[in-house]
Amino acid sequence: MKLENDKNCSWINDLNPRTNIKVLNTNEDCDWLIIGAGFTGLSAARKLNQLNPSQKIILVDAQLAGEGASSRNSGYLVDTTLNDGFTSNKELENYKKKADIYKLGIESVKRFIKEHQVDCDWNECGKYFASSKTEDRRILENFSETLLKLGFEHNILTNNDLKSKLGTNFYNIALHTKGGILLHPGKLVRAMIDTLPENVNLYENSFLIDWKKTNDIINCNFKNGTIKTKKIIFATNGFLKSLGIKKHYNFPITLTASMTRPLNDREFKSLGQPKEWGVLPVRPMGATIRMTKDRRILIRNTAEVYNPYKMSKSELEKRSIQQKKGIKKRFPQLPDDIIQSTWSGIVSRTRNSSQIFEKLDNNIFVAGCYNGSGIGVGTLFGEQIAIRASDEHTKEIEIIEARNKPTWLPPQPFLDFGVKARLIYERIRARSEI
Ligand SMILES: Cc1cc2nc3c(=O)[nH]c(=O)nc-3n(C[C@H](O)[C@H](O)[C@H](O)COP(=O)(O)OP(=O)(O)OC[C@H]3O[C@@H](n4cnc5c(N)ncnc54)[C@H](O)[C@@H]3O)c2cc1C
């Protein structure tokens, strides 16, 4: 089995290629092994080293560190979300629990950035939940009540305001939340790699094939080597299920995104020269669309059940056409060939959109499943699962443990059938917003 990502992600290609990549081709022993080097695994490694500086820590990834979903996302560090089913008043208590976790996630990322003086195009400009459908005002007004009760600053905007802020008259109604940050995910995750403590041994392009616990030792087999470890943390997010972890509680979903080249002066003027902004859809399958600091437009408007290990060039091309249409609908004046790159990435979902944070067995831990909030929550959960695995306790762990736990999923083929049917239904509901 091999994980083969496309090489197209603009966030990754903005950065200098890394050197000194070590592949595992020996047999190793360690105190701690972390599988998966995205926001979760990198944060876990950093924290483990602080707590256990004299112990041997190994971090392994099947591809280059950070080049999974952690680089391939839309770059919203969220304080609130709309599309996770918790917007009715009845669910206020649950919504608050989620928002408390998002807040801790933002604080974790902020602490990291401050400590290491990271430049990741951090912009505290908030975000819009926007729709072209005026009837979606009702959804936004309900959401506004929830936000009001929880003290989140926000306001509702209509067509003309939106046109001047976003440079398109596609949207008719939106709710802007003041909290929430836009950033360059590639730069953030690269900073986490560059600042890994020396005591963390990072192996890349090294795929974990299988693992087994015998007595108190966990034996892990990779293509060209093995690792025996006393404790293990699984941080493989969309690939938890394929490693047999919590397999009745999570499943992978493939997303694709496209980014344009930077708009030239004339094109940018035709949009009214808006400041950087980010829009999330009001309806779950609508498009996420963002104007970056350097005038590029990012769009993500697909989510599907697909082989998580690889998407072919021709399949990516098909999604790119969808994304071209999405851009054209909003910015008809821009040329047809403006998309520079299209890439795919894998997220992990649970039935009730809750996250996984657990001790699976003695010395075996897992954190993952953040849907569209893994920048902050992944960073937080990585740190906190390392603390929990080191037998320590924090107020953050208490808040995480108080969340609703993921609920059981039906077995295959019912699961795939159910998920596909739901995605088709949501896509039809959101067809004008794609
Ligand atoms: C298109 C897209 C848009 C998104 N938008 C946002 C957004 O705006 N805001 C937000 O907060 N989140 C967003 N997300 C989600 C976010 O990117 C993820 O939640 C987050 O990156 C999860 O981090 P992670 O470290 O847990 O997992 P990942 O970054 O997926 O890292 C897991 C790692 O495990 C490795 N791995 C898997 N299997 C094995 C194996 N067998 N052996 C060794 N290594 C293995 C993988 O190679 C990978 O590097 C988006 C995701 C996508 C794809």
Is the CB of residue 208 below 6 angstroms from any atom belonging to ligand 1? yes
Report the alpha-carbon distance of residue 185 to residue 188 in Å, rounded.
Answer: 5
Nearest residue (by CA) to ligand 1, atom 37, is: 236
Q: Pick the residue whose CA is nearest to atom 41 on ligand 1.
A: 208
Return all residues near 353 (Cβ < 8 A) that are at least 6 apart: 84, 85, 86, 371
Residue-wise DSSP of 84-148: TS--SGGGHHHHHHHHHHHHHHHHHHHHHHHHHT--S--B---EEEEES-GGGHHHHHHHHHHHH
Ligand 1: nearest atom to the Cα of 348: 19
Query: What's residue 359's pLDDT?
Result: 98
Ligand 1 pocket member 252 (CB < 6 A)? no
In this structure, which amino acid lies at residue 353? S
**Ligand 1, atom 31: closest residue by C-alpha:** 38
Q: For residue 86, is pLDDT > 60? A: no
Average pLDDT over the chain, rounded to whole?
95
pLDDT tens digit sequence for 200-253 = 999 999 999 999 999 999 999 999 999 999 999 999 999 999 999 999 999 999
Q: Confidence band (pLDDT; 50, 70, 90) for 284?
A: confident
Q: Residue for token digits 């929430």?
A: 180
Residue 20 CA to residue 13 CA, distance in Å, equals: 18
Would the pLDDT of 364 be above 60? yes
Percentage with pLDDT > 90 across the chain: 88
Give tens-digit pLDDT for 232-247. Answer: 999 999 999 999 999 9
Condensed to tens digits (0 to 9), the pLDDT of residues 126-170 reads 999 999 999 999 999 999 999 999 999 999 999 999 999 999 999
For ligand 1, say whether the CB of 289 is within 6 Å of any of its atoms: no
pTM of the model: 0.97
Half-sphere exposure of 247 (CA within 13 A, CB side): 7
Q: How far is the CA of 101 from the centre of ligand 1 (A)?
A: 18
Kindly state the average pLDDT of the residues 101-108.
98
